[in-house]
Structure 1
Amino acid sequence: MNSSLTILFLGAIIFLAHWFSGIFDRKGIPDVLLLMLVGVLLGPILRLVKPDDFGIAGPMFTSLTLVIILFESGIGLNITELRKSLGRALSLTAINFIVTTVAVSILSYSLFNLSILESLTLGATLGGTSSAVVIPMVRQISMQELSRTYLILESALSDVLCIVFALALIEGIMGSDVQPGLIVGKIISSFVLASIVGFVAAVIWAIVLNRIRSIKNSIFTTPAFVFIVYGIAELLGYSGAISSLVFGITLVNIEQFRTPFFDKYLPSEPVSLTETERVFFSEIVFLLKTFFFVYVGISIHFDNFIIMGLGLLFSIILYMLRIPVIKFSARSNIQVADKITMSVMIPKGLAAAVLAGIPLQKGIPGGQIIQDLTYSIILITIVITSVLIPLFGRYKRLKAIFGWFFRASLINVKPRP
C-alpha cells in the first residue's frame, strides 16, 4: 500500500470511528466490534495490510495505547469509590484468574498434546481481562460507579497476575524451577512498588504542574510524563500499567492526600487537571483506541478452523464459569443488571497476545498451539462481549436468563442512575 493510500485510509478510519461511536449511542452496537471488523477486512480478508508491515511500531503502539487508556481511566476514578471497591476488586481478580487458569489448563491438557506446565502457561496467559477493551466499553454503558470501578481495577490488576505467572511457568518449561514463594513475592512487589512509583511520580508532577502550564503548548507534557513513569516502572521490573493507573488516580485526587509535609511543597491552590486537559486526554484515548482495535483485527489469524472452533468452545466455558465468579465475589449492593454486565466482561487482549508469542519464540513444543488458540480466544471473547452487551438492552428475556443465575427478579431492579 503506497503512502497516499495509507494516509487516505487513516483519515477514513478516524471518520468511521466517529460514525461507529454514533451507532453505539443510537443502536447499542459497540464501536470496538466494528473497528475490529474493519481490521479483519483490511488484513485477513483483503490482505491489504499485514501485522509485519508495522514492524516494531506495532507492539510499541499497543503498549502506548494501554498506558494512555489506564491513565485516562485513573483520572476518572474517585478515591472514595476506590476505597470501597479495592478489596472486592482484588478478590474478583484473584478468583477469576484462578478459575480461568485451572479450567483452561484442564481443557488444553485433555484436548492437546501439551505438558502440564504448557497447559498452565496457556491458562495463565488467558487468566485476565483486557484493559484496552474493558475500559472503553464500561465508559460507554450505563453502570453504577462502583461496578465500573470493579471492572477497571480488575482489568489492570489481572495483567500483573498473567504476566508474572506465565513468565514463571515458561521459565519452568525451559528448565528452571518453578518456585511458588518467589512468584508470590514478585506479584506483591510488582503491585506495591509499582503503586509507589505511580504515587510518588504524581506528587512530583502535582508540584510542578502549575509551573508547566505557563509554558506555551504544554498540554501534552502530562501524557509525556506518564510515558516516562511507565518506562521507569518497567525498567525497574514492576508493572508500568499499575504505575500509570495509580499516577492518574493520585493526580486527580491529590487533595485527598494532603498532609503537613505535602502542604509545605504542594501549591496552595488545589492541583487538578483542567477541563481542557481532560477533554484533550479523552480525544487522545479515542484516537488510540480507534487504531488499536483496527490493528487487533489486522493481527487475527484464520488459518486453522479447528483451532477457531476449539477457541469458541473454550470461550463459551469461560463465560459460563464467569457467572459463579461474579455471584461469589460481587457485593450484595451491586444491582443485578450490573452483575449481568460484569458476568460477560471477560474479553482478552494485549497481555494475552504478547504472552502467547513467547513460548513459540523460546522454541517450546506447544508454542504454536498456545499462540493460535490464544489469538482465536482473543477475537471470540471480544466479539461475544461486544455482541452480548447491546443484546441485553434489546432482549429482556436474554437478560432475564442471566439474571436468574443471580436469584433476583429483574422486574424489581431499580433503574440505573
Structure 2
Amino acid sequence: MIDVPTLFFMIAAIIGLGFLGAWLFKVTRVPEAMLLIGAGVALREFLKVDTSLVFSIAPYFGAFALLVIMFEGGLHLDFAHVIKQWRNSLALLALAFVLSFIFIAAICLYVFEYHWLNALLLSSALSCTSAAIVVPLVRQVRMAKPVQTVLELESSLSDVIAVLITVTLLNIFAKPSDGGNPALLILASLTGALWIGPLAAFAWGWIIGRLSDQPLVYLATFAAMLVVYASCEAVHSSGVFGVFLFATVLSNGPRLLRRFWPGTNGRAELREWMGANVRGFHAELTFLVRTFFFVFLGMLFDYSAISVKILLQAGAIYLALLVARWLTVIWIKIGENKTEHSAAARALFLFMPRGLASAVLATIPLQYGVKVNAEFITVTICIVLFTNLAITAGVRWVERGTLPGTSEETT
C-alpha cells in the first residue's frame, strides 16, 4: 500500500516528466510517448503493480481519454482550412486509412489467425495517425504551407474516423442486440448524434455568450460535453460522435453564422471566449490525460511478453503501413514542379506516427467485455514506438528535401 506523500510525489513526478517530454519534443523533435511509456514500465516494476489491476482500470481511463481526444479534435477542426485543402486532405486520409485498414486486417486474419473482430479492431486502431504528434511537429519542421495544412487535417480527421469505426464495430458486434441489418444499425448509431451534438452546441453557445464573464465556465462546458455524450448513448447513438460534433459546431459556430448570415457579427464575445478560454483550458487537460495515459500504457506493456511472434506481427504490420502510405503518396500531387512535389512527398510519407488515439483504441474493447488477443496491446505499443522512432530519425531527411525559404511559410 502506497502512503499519501509517496502517491503525491509520484503524481508530481509524472507531470514533471510530461513537461520534460514536451520540452524535449520542441528541442529534439523526439515525441514524448517513448519517454512516458518507459516511465510507466519502470513504475510498474518499482511498485510491483499487479497487471490485472491495471487492466481493470483500463476501460474507464480509456473511455475518458477518448472523450478528451474527440472534444479536442472538434475544437481544432477549422472549416477554413478544410475548404482550402479539402481535395488533397481527403485523398490522403481516405487512401491511407483504407489501404492501411485492409492490409492490417488481411495480415491479422490470414497470416496470424486473429479472430475477425480482433483483426478489424486492431486495423482501426492502427490506421490513424496521431494529431497530438503531427500538428505540433509540422509547425516546427521546414515544409510548404499546403503540405502542413494537409497533414494537420489528415491527422485530425483520421483520429475521429478510427474512433467512430471502432465504437461502431463494438456497438454492433459486442453489445447484445436484437439483430438486424448492420447498415441500419450503423445509421441508427449516428442519427441521434447528428442532431443532439449540433443542437446542444448552438444552445450552449447561446448560454456561454451571456456567461462569458463568469468564472468556471470551462468546467460547465466540460459538464455539457458529458451531458451530450450521455444523451447520445441514452438514445442508442454514438456518444463520441456527438461530442465531436458538439465541439466542432461550438468552435466554428461564429464563423458559420457570419458566412451564412452576413449581417450578424457571429457573437464576437463567444468567438473571443472560445479562443482564449476553452482551447487554453482544454489543452491543459489534454496534456494531463496524454501524460498519464502513456504512463498507464507503459504499465500495461509487458516487455517480458515480447517474443519472436510479436516482433514478427509488429514488423509485418509496420511494413504494411509503409506500403499503404507509399501507395497513397504517389497519388497526391502538391507543388508546381518536380522539386516541390518531391519535397511534399517526403513529408507526406514520413509523417505517419501512431500515438494517443491508437493506444486508447487498443484498450477500448475491454470496456465492452471483448476478449482481445494476448498480444493486442503489446503489438499496438510496438507500432507506436516504431512509427515515432522513424519520424524522429527522418525529420532531417524531410528538411533536406525542403525548398529554401519554406520555414518562413510555416512559422
Answer yes or no: same fold by TM over 0.5. Answer: yes
- Residue aligning to 1:279: 280
* Residue 140 (structure 2) pairs with residue 139 (structure 1): no
Shift of 1:24: 1.1
The 3 A distance-change label for structure 1 pair 291 and 164 is: same
Cα offsets for 1:57-98 (capped at 9, x unmatched): 542222222222332332223212234556766665554454
Cα offsets for 1:325-378 (capped at 9, x unmatched): 5326646458324312344558732223322786xx56xxxx5xx422321221
Which structure carries more relative contact order (alpha carbon 8 Å, separation 6+)?
A: 2
Shift of 1:413: 8.1
Structure 1 contact 206–251 (Cα < 8 Å) conserved: yes
- Residue aligning to 1:208: 207
- Residue aligning to 1:68: 68
Cα offsets for 1:188-209 (capped at 9, x unmatched): 4545542432211110111100
Cα offsets for 1:373-394 (capped at 9, x unmatched): 3212210111012212221123
Shift of 1:262: 8.7
Shift of 1:297: 1.1
State the AA in 1 paired with 2:117. Answer: T
State the AA in 2 paired with 1:340. Answer: F
Cα offsets for 1:31-76 (capped at 9, x unmatched): 1221111112212x44533454457654222222222233233222
Could you tell me how far apart the structure 2 residues matched to 1:49 and 1:70 are? 30
- Residue aligning to 1:125: 121
Identity, in percent, stands at 17
Structure 1 contact 21–31 (Cα < 8 Å) conserved: yes
**Which of these residues, 161, 178, 181, is aligned with residue 157 of structure 1?**
161
Could you tell me how far apart the structure 1 residues matched to 2:283 and 2:319 are? 35
Q: How does 1:165-180 map to 2 (within 5 A)?
A: 165=169, 168=172
- Residue aligning to 1:372: 374
Shift of 1:145: 2.4
- Residue aligning to 2:152: 148
Could you tell me how far apart the structure 2 residues matched to 1:63 and 1:133 are? 19
The 3 A distance-change label for structure 1 pair 82 and 199 is: farther
State the AA in 1 paired with 2:123. Answer: G
- Residue aligning to 1:38: 39
Could you tell me how far apart the structure 1 residues matched to 2:266 and 2:81 are? 26
Could you tell me how far apart the structure 2 residues matched to 1:265 and 1:131 are? 41
State the AA in 2 paired with 1:164. Answer: T
Cα offsets for 1:4-32 (capped at 9, x unmatched): 32211001111111111111111111112
- Give the unaligned 5+ runs of structure 1: 401-408
Structure 1 contact 311–373 (Cα < 8 Å) conserved: no
* Residue 315 (structure 2) pairs with residue 318 (structure 1): no
Shift of 1:291: 0.5
Structure 1 contact 23–31 (Cα < 8 Å) conserved: yes
Could you tell me how far apart the structure 2 residues matched to 1:113 and 1:285 are? 36
Structure 1 contact 85–150 (Cα < 8 Å) conserved: no
TM (norm. structure 2) is 0.80
Aligned residues: 388
Q: How does 1:12-411 map to 2 (within 5 A)?
A: 12-43=13-44, 45-46=45-46, 48-53=48-53, 57-84=57-84, 92=92, 95-112=95-112, 118=115, 120-129=116-125, 134-142=130-138, 144-165=148-169, 168=172, 182-191=181-190, 193-258=192-257, 269-272=268-271, 273-302=274-303, 303=305, 305-327=307-329, 330=332, 332=334, 335-345=344-354, 348-355=358-365, 361=369, 367=371, 370-394=372-396, 396=397, 399=398, 410=401
Could you tell me how far apart the structure 2 residues matched to 1:145 and 1:200 are? 29
Could you tell me how far apart the structure 2 residues matched to 1:74 and 1:175 are? 30
Cα offsets for 1:193-252 (capped at 9, x unmatched): 424322111101111003333544333111221122122223333332222222222112
Structure 1 contact 336–410 (Cα < 8 Å) conserved: no
Structure 2 contact 313–379 (Cα < 8 Å) conserved: yes
Shift of 1:152: 0.7
Structure 2 contact 188–236 (Cα < 8 Å) conserved: no
The 3 A distance-change label for structure 1 pair 88 and 231 is: farther
Shift of 1:304: 5.1
What is the DSSP-based 3-state SS (H/G/I as helix, E as strand, rest coil) of the residue aligned with 1:202? Answer: helix
Could you tell me how far apart the structure 2 residues matched to 1:153 and 1:113 are? 30
Stretches of 4+ aligned residues off by more than 6 angstroms: 130-133, 174-177, 259-267
TM (norm. structure 1) is 0.79
State the AA in 1 paired with 2:8. Answer: I
- Residue aligning to 2:142: none
Could you tell me how far apart the structure 2 residues matched to 1:298 and 1:256 are? 43
Cα offsets for 1:148-188 (capped at 9, x unmatched): 012111111122223334664568xx9998x7xx3334444
- Give the unaligned 5+ runs of structure 2: 140-147, 336-340
